[in-house]
Amino acid sequence: MRQYDLSPLYRSTVGFDRLFNMLDSMAGSENGGQSYPPYNIERTGETAYRITMAVAGFGERDIDIESKENILTIKAQRNEDESERDREILYRGIAARSFERRFQLADHVEVTGATLENGLLHIDLVREIPEAMKPRKIAISGSDKSEKQIDASVATSKAA
């Protein structure tokens, strides 16, 4: 894997510390990264996103979704019941092992809902920027020349 030196960017930017730390941590964990369960991240609208995870073998009771301080955490632990313990599995191709997956969310991204259908967990997200942080047009006030213009006859009478 290639190593990129991001230190020149640290010197020329302000307020992007967290972004560069995330890039550094992603570069370091790429080879030993977690690959289970597989997931997709897609954009479903201008400010809407969806995370889809393949969670075959897990039910709604087995999955816990939590959003706290810009981190979305998805945990799943499958509880085996009595009938599953008595069976002898000859080949296990469906990995129903416990997992914990974390996603770093950008500022102002909120989870709007989650659904589980056909073994896929869909988590819908939306980015809502507060009105105070949205770009706004600033009017440029020009000088009104009629107010600042001095009448020549008034200026000469005051001087005399």
Question: What's this model's pTM, rounded to 2 decimal places?
Answer: 0.61
8 A C-beta contact, residue 76 and residue 99: yes
Nearest to 39 by CA among 72, 67, 70: 72
Domain that holds residue 24: 1-33
> Any idea what the CATH number is for the domain that residue 61 is in?
2.60.40.790
The mean pLDDT of the chain is: 77
Nearest to 123 by CA among 153, 102, 141, 152: 102
Residues 5 and 48 in one domain: no
What average pLDDT does range 81-100 have in this prediction?
76
Residues 82 and 51 in one domain: yes
8 A C-beta contact, residue 98 and residue 65: no
Amino acid at 119: G
- Specify the pLDDT at position 21: 64
Cα–Cα distance, 26 to 14 (Å, whole number) = 21
Cα–Cα distance, 108 to 130 (Å, whole number) = 8
Q: pLDDT above 90 covers what percent of the chain? A: 22
Residues 23 and 90 in one domain: no
pLDDT digits (tens, 9 = 90+) for 9-68: 655 555 555 666 666 666 555 444 567 888 999 988 888 999 999 998 888 888 999 999
Which residue did the predictor score with more confidence, 6 or 38?
38
Q: Is residue 86 part of a domain?
A: yes
Q: Is residue 3 part of a domain?
A: yes
Kindly indicate the confidence band of residue 6, based on its pLDDT and cuts at 50, 70 and 90. low
Residues 104 and 49 in one domain: yes
Residues 12 and 59 in one domain: no
- Specify the pLDDT at position 30: 47
Q: Is residue 144 part of a domain?
A: no
